[in-house]
Amino acid sequence: MRPLRPRSALALLGLLWLAVALGAPLLGSQPIGLSDVLRGDPTALAIFWQLRLPRVLLALLAGGALATAGLGFQTLFRNPLAEPYTLGVAGGAALGAVLALRVSEGLGALGLPLVALASFAGALGATALVAGVAMHRKESETGTLLLAGIGVSLSTSALILFVQYLADATQTFRMVRWMMGGLSVVGYREVLWLLPWTLLGLAALLAARWDLNLLLAGEEIAASRGVDVPRLRLRILIATSLMIGALVAVAGPIGFVGLMVPHALRRLVGHDHLILAPACLLGGGAFLALADLAARTVMAPADLPVGVLTALLGGPFFLLLLAVRRGRG
Amino acid sequence: MNDPPVPPVLSARGLVREERGRAKTGWTLGPLDLEVAAGECLALVGPNGAGKTTLLRCLAGLRTPSRGVVAHRGRNFAELSRRELARRIAYVPQVRPANVPLTVREAVELGRYPHLSPFQLAPSAADHRAVDHALAAAGIEAFAERPLDELSGGERQMAWIAAALAQEAEVLILDEPTTHLDPRHQRDVAGLLHRLHRENGATVLLATHDLDLAGLLGDRVLALRSGRIVSLGPPREVLAADSLAALFDAPFRAEPEGRAARLSLAP
């Protein structure tokens, strides 16, 4: 009974993922019918294949990457509030990307690689900083970690504001819009770009599934069972930071998906990372694609950045987790 | 019993571990030499802060010595990976983590980690046998499927010892295994260790403040103070009233033969 349940839940998530991948492109400010697409109606085809499918696919990947990274951070630091956004990793990537946007004006085709490289550097830098500060002070890593994350987030926000102040009005508008975290201007290029990094992150978590499961019992137990904890940390942090860097480069910082999705899925599929990591990839993707669907329909024809929506949901969720956790002692 | 005929399972030569405390200037364990024979039970006693935990961590390979060599059957720890070490030595830390979202069986299964391949999707038949065996040895099959967090402190300790047993390592090291347990669970833990050591011939190292436990289980007792070995020998010598009084800076009175001396409460 027990081993069957998480697996069937994972299969259901897979079905949900497929349903969203096929269904979400049909919906929007102007709904199109599946029959129109199948019949080959040129307008429907163009909307489906060129406008909506790449955006839905990117949402599926981005949400999956965010949730998977959140899971990695939460297990690694044994902290339910850890995720790329709260730890400042997304902020670091955003700072890198904004700097690149500032200087990349007129670089054309070089734009994405430059922004991406800068995001990677920002994400890795922020992770190293937060992890370094948290590990330097041994006692109560939990609190120190979040405080370090807040420190990095505040610093990157301030630096981003500074860069924006220096930029001209058009650039500033682009940056502000991008900082909200959105999936609006997207083609297949971004999807293909994000795919390998997301799979890399998932593979890193799956390969370390026993290690991560053991880490649930604390570092000392894990180490005494044979886990090389510092090396495991390094591996997972690099893989997840690359995943977040790649994501922020194309979609901006999208908050709280990495917080909410792993928590919800733990209740559904349990704590084994063999099941939980792919569940996060599927569930996070479906969640963000649905959130993006809501973001582009609730105020149609206006196109709300999905990052605004996830932040609106995520803030209260964060407070709720904090309250529940404190309540338990 | 004082002269082990077999080569030492664990040995430390010139072991020094410098710990840099945050507030204090730091302190040093050692230099000390130690040999533990196969099938021996060595009990560590000493005041708080004597370095018992640090010594056990060094002997489990969880801390790297600042100087000196720790070896398992002649193999220097420095040449062994964490995984290889875990196949040789199992360690039960003093602090038992809370909020662990695992059942007892899952926790014990994770004791198989050093024997598992990362590409293995599920534990093998041999792993399951080892897990069942460990659960039975600890006598905790009855609550094997319960979540750890629902158990009492004593039951949880038995679960973590079972997880260490599932590791099937030659040496079992325990840091204050009976601290914070009620008398019945202290007895359960002591009984389990006694059986493992006397009947299965396991090599056991434990640190404890329970001097009777040290005398009951230990073939030899090691008294540690300020990072140095004060005395190392049979229980009746190390746990005698005068040596304990010197070790703990407190008055002890002698007890009948075969019992550890007792703290004297009268002034």
pLDDT at A328 > cutoff 50: no
Q: What are phi and psi of B75, to 5 degrees?
A: -90, 120
Q: Å from B228 to nearest chain A CA?
A: 24
Over pLDDT 70: what percentage of chain B?
94
Q: Considering only CB atoms, which chain B residues are within 8 Å of A224?
A: 60, 62, 86, 90-93, 164
Task: Kindly state whether A217 is in contact with chain B, defined as any CB-CB distance less than 8 angstroms.
Answer: yes
Does residue A229 contact residue A237 with C-beta atoms inside 8 Å? no
Q: Considering only CB atoms, which chain A residues are within 8 Å of B160?
A: 221
Task: Kindly state whether B60 is in contact with chain A, defined as any CB-CB distance less than 8 angstroms.
Answer: yes
List, for residues A264-295, the tens digit of each pLDDT value: 999 889 899 999 999 999 999 999 999 999 98
Q: What type of residue sits at position A196?
A: P
Smallest Cβ–Cβ distance between B97 and the set A209, A213, A217 belongs to A217
Mutate to test the interface with A, among B110, B120, B173 (most CBs of A within 10 A): B110
Does residue A318 contact residue A70 with C-beta atoms inside 8 Å? no
End-to-end CA distance of chain B: 38
pLDDT score, position A1: 39
Smallest Cβ–Cβ distance between A216 and the set B92, B102, B114 belongs to B102
Average pLDDT over residues B226-244: 89
Q: Omega into A278 within 30° of 0, i.e. cis?
A: no
Strands B67-72 and B75-76: antiparallel
Task: Kindly state whether B92 is in contact with chain A, defined as any CB-CB distance less than 8 angstroms.
Answer: yes
Q: State the Cα–Cα distance between residues B103 and B105, nearest whole angstrom.
A: 5
Asked whether the whole model's pTM tops 0.90, one would answer no
List, for residues A102-135, the tens digit of each pLDDT value: 876 655 555 567 888 898 999 999 999 988 887 7
Q: What are phi and psi of A169, to 5 degrees?
A: -60, -45
Q: Å from B167 to nearest chain A CA?
A: 7
Q: Å from B243 to nearest chain A CA?
A: 33
pLDDT score, position A50: 86
Mutate to test the interface with A, among B94, B99, B146 (most CBs of A within 10 A): B99
pLDDT score, position A3: 46
Task: Kindly state whether B62 is in contact with chain A, defined as any CB-CB distance less than 8 angstroms.
Answer: yes
Residue A243, H or E segment: helix A229-251
List, for residues A191-243, the tens digit of each pLDDT value: 998 999 999 999 999 999 999 999 999 888 999 999 998 889 889 989 999 99
Q: What type of residue sits at position B80?
A: L
Average pLDDT over residues A167-172: 82
Over pLDDT 70: what percentage of chain A?
92
Over pLDDT 90: what percentage of chain A?
40
List, for residues B245-266, the tens digit of each pLDDT value: 889 888 888 887 777 888 877 6
Q: Considering only CB atoms, which chain B residues are within 8 Å of A271?
A: 101-102
> A139: which residues sit within 8 A by CB, 6+ positions away?
none
List, for residues B135-149, the tens digit of each pLDDT value: 999 989 999 999 998
Smallest Cβ–Cβ distance between B97 and the set A218, A226, A274 belongs to A218
Residue A224, H or E segment: helix A219-224
Q: Å from B249 to nearest chain A CA?
A: 30
Does residue A198 contact residue A64 with C-beta atoms inside 8 Å? yes
Give the CA radius of gyration of chain A: 20
Query: A220 vs B95: CB contact, 8 Å cut-off?
Result: yes
Smallest Cβ–Cβ distance between B93 and the set A208, A221, A271 belongs to A221
* Confidence band, pLDDT 50/70/90 cuts, at residue A325: low
Task: Kindly state whether B151 is in contact with chain A, defined as any CB-CB distance less than 8 angstroms.
Answer: no
Query: B85 vs A210: CB contact, 8 Å cut-off?
Result: no
Dihedral sign for Cα atoms in the order B49, B55, B60, B65: positive
Dihedral sign for Cα atoms in the order A137, A141, A146, A149: positive
Among chain A residues, CA nearest to B174: A224
List, for residues B59-118, the tens digit of each pLDDT value: 999 999 999 999 999 889 999 999 999 999 999 998 777 788 899 999 999 999 998 876
Query: B113 vs A227: CB contact, 8 Å cut-off?
Result: yes
Nearest to A197 by CA among A237, A245, A231: A245
pLDDT score, position B167: 93
Q: Considering only CB atoms, which chain B residues are within 8 Å of A275?
A: none
Query: Around Cβ B81, how many Cβ atoms within 10 Å?
Result: 12
The single residue listed with the structure tokens 């893989």 is A239
Average pLDDT over residues B2-28: 74
pLDDT score, position A318: 82
Higher pLDDT, B121 or A85: A85
List own/partner pairs for B236-242 with CB under 8 A and 24 or more apart. Answer: B238/B45, B239/B45, B239/B211, B239/B214, B239/B215
Task: Kindly state whether A230 is in contact with chain B, defined as any CB-CB distance less than 8 angstroms.
Answer: no
